[in-house]
Chain A
Amino acid sequence: MTNKNITAPTSMFKVKSRASKGKLKERNVIWLVLPTALVLTTLFAGGFIFGILQSLGFFSVIAGDEEKIGFEAYLNAFQNETVRAGIILTFRVAILSTFFSTIIALAISLMISRTKRFQSALIAITQFNIPIPHVVAATGILLTFSQSGIISRLTNHFGITDGSSGFPIVTNDPFGYGIIMSYLWKEVPFLCILILSALRGPVTNLDETAKTLGASYRFRLRKVILPYIFPSILSGTIIVFAFSFGSYEVPYILGQPYPSTVSVVAYQLYTNRDLANRPTAMALATITSVVIGLLVYAYMKLTQQEGRK
């Protein structure tokens, strides 16, 4: 049974159809759900809860510390200069990368969808970075933009900069430029394929209809296309933000020893020789998760209101 001919046209109409068919009730659904539920409950929920417990002082490594159950680790975390500086840096880097990668990906996706020639080539190129591991991405950015990187050598050769120290510092820098660039390089393509997929869907029909009715591109963009692909953008932004906030490899390679992002700081605390730092590491990890969760929730609430307008 070939699906290419049958599914393609009908799927465009079928999107709404499951709503009309209604969801099914079946006893056997538990077998579909059980393996995933088991894996995620034991590993994910279990790990997360154990982390919280350890942050409160349970399972202490230091013998005789059993009485120290409480929020001391959280106090330590907030009083720790490295943690505070790390939180500020992480926010900055995550918000800027998410914002710019979304805008750039949206622009590029719209441009690609409007380009007739080379469209499949462009789509193929967009996908190229997706399977590239983040460690390699960070390495590429480092070797390209460091003061002795390839761009610096070019600008030095043409007399634009003087020596390696004359090149601006954008890797292992206090602002986080290198980290942001690495995130952009990986996240723009990811968001592009989300948006491009959404643009390929039923919205093309609506867009065609609007076009024949004489609507300008600007109008169609605002009233038809953007509202339709909005869920994909929202979803992608959330995934990208959460990743940028919690990533370890990229800030480690492209950041500084101090300040470093929360995941790097948490790992350093966890593996610190002074075992009293372990609960603090767990506290930081819990704080990070809560912060991301709250931000995502606020973001969704905000954009849902916007969407209703």
Chain B
Amino acid sequence: MKVIFRPLFLGLFVFSVFFPFLSIIIWSIAAGWRFPDLLPERYSMRGYSIAFDPNGDIVRGVITSTIIALIVGVIATVIGSAAGRAIAMYNFKMKKAFQFLVLAPLIVPGLAVTMGIQILFIKYGLSDTVRGVILAHLIPTVPYVVMIMSGTFANFDRSYEEQGQVLGASRLTVMRKVTLPMVLPGLAVSFLFAFVISWSEYILTLLVGGAAVKTLPMVLFAFLRGSDLTLVGAASIVFMIPPLILLRFTSKHLVGRTSSVTGLGSV
């Protein structure tokens, strides 16, 4: 009994990870799928031809979302890593207050903050613009990067940097040749989180971009409010692909010996 318990439970887990995708995939290639049919009567690629139409909303959504998520990912990773290093390796005045400031966006719903700031965004011409959306996306992403990188830097051995400096290398060279390679796993995971959060963000984009900035979540949400489930299915599949590709490249750093995700474990 005990012998089969673990494989059964784990098997159930694996099944539940993949099962919900089945209905999305089937709907994406269905030409109508009435209840009680187990499978659609007819299949069609209509959903995907609309999805990959270069002039269509989905392609434009992919481009917009990619640009925004890449920029957000880079900015959040850069400034968050600096802050993470500061928290992990230094003591400074107002450190506790700074840590609180960094953690608070994880507690306070993004909706609350964006509703509050909208009037300022309109006044300063940031609403309905891509740069306004990028700024808004920094709010939920930077805290994750700070936490991950503070975990990475907590396990970081300064003596390597010091050795580099002693051997005569400039600060910049030390950073490039010593620090960067050592914290690369952490940076990779940080970028993954920041990118995925920005890529998936809906309500912040809606409030700041105001339907004028057409990211992929906005497009998918609009389809979900319509009646065409085939299109919803195809758009969902397209929506999933870029983040999964990014995961493929960073997955070995997520759970590894030098795992930086432990940083998230020190709220």
Contact = CB atoms under 8 A, between A and B. Distances in A.
Direct A–B contact present (CB less than 8 angstroms): yes
Interface of A: 1, 3, 7-8, 10-11, 14-15, 17-18, 21, 23-26, 29-33, 35-37, 39-41, 43-54, 59, 107-108, 111-112, 114-115, 122-137, 139-141, 143-144, 148-150, 152-154, 156-157, 163-164, 185, 188-189, 193-194, 196-198, 200-201, 229, 231-236, 238-239, 242, 245-249, 253, 263, 266-267, 270, 281-282, 285-286, 288-289, 292-293, 296
18 contacts: A3-B258, A8-B257, A23-B91, A24-B90, A35-B83, A39-B135, A59-B119, A115-B6, A125-B17, A153-B38, A196-B255, A197-B255, A229-B265, A235-B264, A282-B115, A285-B112, A285-B115, A292-B108
Nearest to B78: A35
A36 B113 contact: no
Q: Is the interface of A mostly helix, strand, loop or mixed?
A: helix
B23 A266 contact: no
B140 to A, nearest CB: 9
A267 B108 contact: no
B224 A7 contact: no
B10 A115 contact: yes
Contacts of A154: 38
Interface in B30-81: 35-38, 78-80
A51 B112 CA distance: 7
Contact of B115 (A136, A238, A270): A270
Contacts of A189: 17
Contacts of A281: 115
Interface string B148-182: 00000011111010000000000000000110011
Nearest to B27: A143
Contacts of B244: 128, 131-132
B16 interface: yes
Given A17-B157, A144-B23, A231-B266, A50 B9 contact: no
Given A23-B90, A32-B82, A246-B110, A129 B220 contact: no
B255 A143 contact: no
A307 to B, nearest CB: 14
Interface string B216-237: 0100110010000100110010
Contact of A246 (B109, B116, B160): B109
B259 to A, nearest CB: 4
Contacts of A286: 112
B220 A135 contact: yes
A292 B90 CA distance: 30
A152 B85 contact: no
B240 A133 contact: yes
A44 B113 contact: yes
Given A198-B265, A231-B266, 7 more contacts: A39-B142, A43-B138, A44-B105, A127-B255, A131-B244, A143-B24, A267-B203
B241 to A, nearest CB: 10
A234 B142 CA distance: 21
B243 A132 contact: yes
Contacts of A235: 264-267
A154 to B, nearest CB: 7
Interface in B100-133: 101-102, 104-117, 119-120
A282 B116 CA distance: 7
Nearest to A148: B35
Contacts of B220: 135-136, 139
A239 B38 CA distance: 39
A170 B170 CA distance: 62
A249 B89 contact: no
A197 B116 contact: no
A10 B142 CA distance: 29
A201 B119 CA distance: 47
Contacts of A11: 155, 157, 257-258
B101 A44 contact: yes
A32 B85 contact: yes
Contact of A50 (B101, B120, B136): B120
The 3 closest A-B pairs by CB, nearest first: A51-B116, A246-B109, A232-B265
A185 B203 CA distance: 21
Given A51-B115, A249-B203, A200 B256 contact: yes
Nearest to A156: B36
A245 B108 CA distance: 10
Interface centre among B17, B109, B119, B251 (most CB of A within 10 A): B109
Contacts of A149: 23
Contacts of B154: 15, 18
A157 B157 CA distance: 62
